[in-house]
Chain A
Amino acid sequence: MGGLHGQILRVNLSKGTCKKEKLDPKLARAYIGGRGLGTKILSDEINPTVDPLSPNNKLLMATGPLTGTNASTGGRYMVITKSPLTGAVACSNSGGYIGAEIKFCGYDLIIFEGRAKAPVYLWLNNDKVEIRPADKVWGKTTHETEDRLKAETHEEAKVCSIGPAGEKLALTACVMNDKHRAAGRSGVGAVMGSKNLKAVVAKGFQSVKVARPREFMAACLAVVKKLAESPVSGGGLPKYGTPILVNVINAHGFLPTRNFQQGQFEGADKVSGETIADTILIRNKGCFACTIACARVTEVKEGKYKGAGEGPEYESDWALGIATGVSDLAAVTKANYLCNELGMDTIEAGVAVATAMELCERGYIPQSDIGRPLRFGDGDALVWLIEEMGYRRGFGELVAQGGYRVAEKYGHPELFMGVKKQAFPAYDGRGAQGMALGYATANRGACHLRGYTISVEVFGIPKKMDPFATQGKAEVSKLFQDVTAFVDSTGICLFTTFGIGAEDIHPMLEHATGAGYTLEECLRIGERIWNMERLFNLKAGLTGKDDTLPPRILREGIPEGPAKGMVAKLPEMLPEYYKLRGWDSGGVPGKAKLKELALA
């Protein structure tokens, strides 16, 4: 199949061995690559009841057929494992350059198994592989790690790594790459840390061959044109980045504020995309082969939080700012930079801090446990706690485990705002009903990316739907979830779907692979992937009871603003969603559905 090398690298960290294996072409055909192929291999090779931080868990880094090609945004890779945060399947997607570089070394996918006796890193030197000691970088930030390992290997090498957070098995830990990009969610960094695997460094020179080069280029150029013409991918995203959403979502009244206690933030404009563009933004930046370039290169030029880096993006800006009530952009930006350097998911970290803040303000956490006051709106406390979390010291040791564990420890798990122990992202499901359903049903826990109904509920892409209404949301959620699973398997970025559809991605995929995919089959593969993830979770012990939302979201109306009084009407949407999925009333896929999807 074109677009793939047909080669997997299996790294046994316990034995210190690396083995090149053939990728089964039937598997590649059925699951495409990336999220689909990686999750399939994980499902086949581990017991879903495994302890995620044990050597028996596996960590995969998977690329897609379009990774490393000329397809716009064709630089994505996925980190796939069983999550220690949720106990469910984890699949975290990142851009930057490491995905393409792994491909240039000749691998479609890397499987890490076992646990090294001492910290190591993997050096992919084109077609050569070495497991090298990482003692000199263990304990270092992701930025220091990247600089040192490039000096040891190749000045143009690309690096993904964990920071101190991952080394210390923080459930908020992520895998950073190219210093500022993250495979963020679900604690995947802790799994890497549990294997004593500090980093992967890659430098390769092998091109990715496609099946029909002329037709492929024509399809790619058609996509580039559409992306440029789209007001989102060709206008808003490059100019303002995702933080443009702050004022938009705030105006709609469902910007979750102070741990979801309110739906509007009086300080929103101070941390908005417009303010970022006018103050700390240096320029935008793109990932490998990206023609959108939504990343923000930023600098805080003066004051106690002086520094440079990238971000904050919308989710980070929200989690570290609005969720915590902090409207000091310099503090929010500093906290964002720290998360990148220490290797933490900004969403999980920010919501963990917000959870702690609410518990503290309600008197459930004694100040003596923390060591200092911790209140909403305190930017200094935010920055302090993020650093403590990154090194898992003092009060930060617990908070680094995520908001659920903090709330549970202090006797109020209902104050954790998330699903399946993973924190909500930056849209209150009470005001956007499709997001409420998406959060409850996402296989990896609360996630905005799995089925981004904000597209229809705010932007009218491809059609406008009332965010307050439940009608039609089950159908659109299922569709978005299946399409997203397909896109995540190809190796291109989900943000392309602001400007193009599956009907535009399909020709690129088909001409790259030559596999004979139809558009219908691509969407069916997306549904197959979704159901496969569901089966993994059921075997891991999750049930339909986990497809729920916190009591605040189900029963307490947003107290003020445009969405005043709204609650998430999940009971109205979930049965219809299960039915559309071909699942029973407990959320278990039926035999007929599994047979239809070739999963039985």
Chain B
Amino acid sequence: MAVVEFLGDLRKAAGRSTLDLEAGSVSGLLAALGNAISVQFASLLFNDGALQPDVEVLVNGRNIEFLQGLETDLGPTDRVTIFYSGVRGFPGG
């Protein structure tokens, strides 16, 4: 299972700072967040097959922009870190 780590306001939005999740790719993981947390939370990060603006995703500390983007493969010991590059507030928060 990959470990997903949320930083900044995403922790409040997710209701936790980390989560173990099984997924084969970053896009799969982001979609799985809808079931694991909530559809509303997942839509903060990912919509219509693309990352929301200002959302950054690292796999083992490397931004996916320098890997294979949303199709970056995930293995069972990978660590995925998600944060806002501006750390915006959670809507309504």
Where the two chains meet, the residues of A that have a C-beta atom closer than 8 Å to any C-beta of B are 230-232, 234-236, 239-240, 244, 247-248, 251-253, 269, 273-274, 458-461, 464, 466, 468, 498, 561-563
Report how far A244 CA is from B89 CA in the complex, Å: 13
Do the beta carbons of B66 and A466 come within 8 Å of each other?
A: yes
Number of interface residues of B (CB under 8 A): 23
Do the beta carbons of A460 and B85 come within 8 Å of each other?
A: yes
Do the beta carbons of A236 and B86 come within 8 Å of each other?
A: yes
B72 to chain A, nearest CB (A): 14
B44 to chain A, nearest CB (A): 13
Where the two chains meet, the residues of B that have a C-beta atom closer than 8 Å to any C-beta of A are 5, 7-9, 11, 17, 54, 56, 58, 60-63, 65-66, 81, 83-89
A-B contact pairs, 12 of them (CB 8 A): A231-B85, A232-B85, A236-B8, A236-B84, A236-B87, A274-B8, A274-B11, A461-B85, A466-B63, A562-B58, A562-B62, A563-B61
Do the beta carbons of A232 and B86 come within 8 Å of each other?
A: yes
Do the beta carbons of B88 and A235 come within 8 Å of each other?
A: yes
Given contacts A230-B86, A251-B7, 19 further A-B contacts (CB under 8 A): A231-B54, A231-B88, A232-B85, A235-B84, A235-B89, A236-B87, A240-B87, A244-B87, A248-B7, A251-B58, A252-B58, A253-B61, A274-B7, A458-B85, A459-B85, A460-B65, A464-B63, A466-B63, A563-B61
Do the beta carbons of B61 and A248 come within 8 Å of each other?
A: no
Chain B residues with Cβ below 8 Å from A460 are 56, 65, 85
Chain A residues with Cβ below 8 Å from B62 are 562
Do the beta carbons of B61 and A251 come within 8 Å of each other?
A: yes
A-B residue pair count with CB separations less than 8 angstroms: 70
Chain B residues with Cβ below 8 Å from A562 are 58, 60-62
Do the beta carbons of A252 and B87 come within 8 Å of each other?
A: no
Report how far A236 CA is from B10 CA in the complex, Å: 12
Known A252-B58, A274-B8, A562-B62; judge A235-B86 contact (CB<8 A): yes
Chain A residues with Cβ below 8 Å from B63 are 464, 466
B26 to chain A, nearest CB (A): 15
Known A231-B54, A251-B81, A274-B7; judge A236-B61 contact (CB<8 A): no
Chain A residues with Cβ below 8 Å from B81 are 251
Do the beta carbons of A239 and B87 come within 8 Å of each other?
A: yes
In the complex, which residue of chain B has the Cβ closest to the Cβ of A455?
Answer: B85
Report how far A234 CA is from B65 CA in the complex, Å: 25
Report how far A498 CA is from B84 CA in the complex, Å: 14
In the complex, which residue of chain A has the Cβ closest to the Cβ of B93?
Answer: A239
In the complex, which residue of chain B has the Cβ closest to the Cβ of A274?
Answer: B11
Partner among A231, A269, A458 whose Cβ is within 8 Å of the Cβ of B84: A231
Chain A residues with Cβ below 8 Å from B56 are 459-460
Chain B residues with Cβ below 8 Å from A247 are 5, 7-8, 83
Report how far A232 CA is from B86 CA in the complex, Å: 4
Chain B residues with Cβ below 8 Å from A232 are 85-87
Report how far A253 CA is from B8 CA in the complex, Å: 18
Report how far A562 CA is from B78 CA in the complex, Å: 11
B83 to chain A, nearest CB (A): 6
Partner among A230, A234, A244, A466 whose Cβ is within 8 Å of the Cβ of B8: A244
Chain A residues with Cβ below 8 Å from B83 are 247-248, 251
Do the beta carbons of A239 and B86 come within 8 Å of each other?
A: no
Chain A residues with Cβ below 8 Å from B61 are 251-253, 561-563
A399 to chain B, nearest CB (A): 33
Report how far A247 CA is from B9 CA in the complex, Å: 12
Do the beta carbons of B88 and A236 come within 8 Å of each other?
A: yes
Chain A residues with Cβ below 8 Å from B66 are 466, 468
Do the beta carbons of B8 and A273 come within 8 Å of each other?
A: yes
